[in-house]
Structure 1
Amino acid sequence: MSEAAQLAGVPQTMLWTLHNRATEAIRPDGWLRDPEAVRLYRSIAYDYEAHFRRADGSHAMRSLMFDEALRPWLAAHPGGTVVELGCGLETQFQRCDDGRVNWLCVDLPESIAVRERFLPPSPRCRHLALSALDTRWIAEVDAARGVFVSAQGLFMYFDEAEVRRLFCAIVDAFPGGELMFDVIPRWFSRKTMQGLDLTPHYRAPRMPWGINRDEIAPLLRLWSPRLASVREEPYRRVRGFAGALMPVVAPLPWLGRLLPTIVQVRIAG
């Protein structure tokens, strides 16, 4: 698939996350059921392991945790709107669609072009070819029945000032809404800034924004006083030796703060 093969930089990470999700979904003991991701994975001619090494299931766990947070919100907000920033080839709409939700996928033009080859838009799942930092997307959101903003694997690719501006724009635009995103710890951010080669064929993009788990809530509350709650949870597990250590490390104050973390924010009404 020529468009996928030509992706570079941050847009190329859509294939990295697809590799992790679909490989986990294929496993009989996989923790994520995602038939659409499997279909995409098998449809795109790409040497995933040569670029991204053997899948560890990390992105599948992230998607599962996002799904678990979104489904109760959908039940409580029939006909509400989900905004998926940096959607790439994520298939959360296909996994969670309740037949009523309105969905807005936002990503860079080159990413939307690839997405639309395999996941065409529909009346309830629209696509918008725009950077998440270009907040014109806010005007495209119908907030009448509630808004849930999802940003998987996105904020770490911006610098802190950009994250702050986008975070505050979302909080100001959607009182009573929710925002969910993930963060990487500071040590991992530094590693990517120095150059992180996953394989001889792939160097991960620079990820300027890293924050340790114990710093998240204080920083977000400093950015905006309009937060009803901030909840953070580290990834529950991944495959391999690191996955075996995660449940042991997560409760430890000095080590647990250094894990990748999922953040869910409720905005005051």
Structure 2
Amino acid sequence: MHRLRPELGLIQETLLLTLHARALDAGLPRPILGDELSADLAARIDYDFGRLKVKPDLVATTALRAKKLDDAVRAFVAGHPGCVVIDLGCGLDTRMSRCDPPPGVDWYDVDFPEVVDLRSECLPGGSHLVGADLTSSGWLAAVPGDRPAMIVAEGLLPFMPGDSFQAMTRGLTRHLPSGELAINGYTRFAAWAMKYHPTIRVLGIKAAQGFDAPREPESWGAGLDLAEEQILTRAPEVALFPQPLRALTRLTARSTALSRQGVRILRYRF
């Protein structure tokens, strides 16, 4: 079997972290996401995944946030069968395969050009690939601006510098007539603390961006209205977490303030 050797920068290399976490989840007796395509894909990548030191807690939380974002995409597509889906910072995520949208949906996977090139080798066909620096705005011309859109951004917020995530969001909501934005939210403390996570430290990445109040994005000038905040410490899938993470998560779930420091899914309408 031919194995692909990716040539990626530090930020882009995080896609291998999330791919590995989804692959490990798929190999569990009781997976949360069960993404077997990610497991097959990881096996085709020539990379020392062991250096990432991925722990069971990261596997569980990565799988759970992906599952909840998938659910948000499926719900939107069901209500808007001719819509556009835009997966920002898509990496090597197999979300389109997992969500299996109907033929009338146009799916756009957006990431750095070198990531899109790798993706075209690993996951050919299916979606429209857009290679772009998301801190610029020119790439929006590649996306239809006359149909409702589901925008999903998993794990992207902390890695965009300054207020570039907010500026990108304003550009998207001005370009598109209506839709939803679904993200996994990071508080400022959670984004700051990411720098000290063993896996992030291995890659040498300094994540920094986050926000605390779930309604804060309503002040970005992007026409966003909070539709839902899912605090994932209270998700039923926590029953599948390994111990002692399961017990700790259930204890944390008693406090909304503490739970918000972990994984939460936020949906906004525009």
Looking at structure 2, the residues matched to 88 and 94 of structure 1 have their Cα atoms a distance apart, in angstroms, of: 14
Q: 1:265 aligns with which of 240, 245, 268?
A: 268
1:63 CA displacement: 1.0
1:32 CA displacement: 1.1
Matched, 1:70 2:44: no
Looking at structure 1, the residues matched to 222 and 43 of structure 2 have their Cα atoms a distance apart, in angstroms, of: 46
Q: TM-score, normalised by structure 2?
A: 0.86
Match in the other structure for 1:176: 178
1:3-82 paired onto structure 2 within 5 Å: 3-4=5-6, 6-55=7-56, 56-82=59-85
1:26 CA displacement: 2.0
Structure 2: gaps of 5 or more residues? none
Looking at structure 1, the residues matched to 218 and 191 of structure 2 have their Cα atoms a distance apart, in angstroms, of: 22
1:265 CA displacement: 0.7
The answer to whether the Cα contact below 8 Å between 1:185 and 1:260 also exists between their aligned partners in 2 is no
Looking at structure 2, the residues matched to 2 and 8 of structure 1 have their Cα atoms a distance apart, in angstroms, of: 16
1:56-205 paired onto structure 2 within 5 Å: 56-100=59-103, 101-122=105-126, 125-193=127-195, 195-198=196-199, 202-205=202-205
Q: 1:159 to 1:127 in 2, by over 3 A?
A: same
1:16 CA displacement: 0.4
* Aligned-partner SS, 2:152: strand
Q: 1:227 aligns with which of 221, 224, 229?
A: 224
Looking at structure 2, the residues matched to 157 and 94 of structure 1 have their Cα atoms a distance apart, in angstroms, of: 25
Looking at structure 2, the residues matched to 87 and 152 of structure 1 have their Cα atoms a distance apart, in angstroms, of: 8
Structure 1 vs Structure 2 CA RMSD: 2.3
Looking at structure 2, the residues matched to 225 and 130 of structure 1 have their Cα atoms a distance apart, in angstroms, of: 21
Looking at structure 1, the residues matched to 227 and 36 of structure 2 have their Cα atoms a distance apart, in angstroms, of: 32
The answer to whether the Cα contact below 8 Å between 2:188 and 2:208 also exists between their aligned partners in 1 is no
1:196 CA displacement: 4.3
1:199 CA displacement: 8.3
Looking at structure 1, the residues matched to 264 and 204 of structure 2 have their Cα atoms a distance apart, in angstroms, of: 19
Percent sequence identity is 26
The answer to whether the Cα contact below 8 Å between 1:24 and 1:60 also exists between their aligned partners in 2 is yes
- How many residues align? The count is 259
Looking at structure 1, the residues matched to 13 and 160 of structure 2 have their Cα atoms a distance apart, in angstroms, of: 16
Q: 1:251 to 1:133 in 2, by over 3 A?
A: farther
Q: TM-score, normalised by structure 1?
A: 0.86
* Aligned-partner SS, 1:175: coil
The answer to whether the Cα contact below 8 Å between 2:145 and 2:175 also exists between their aligned partners in 1 is no
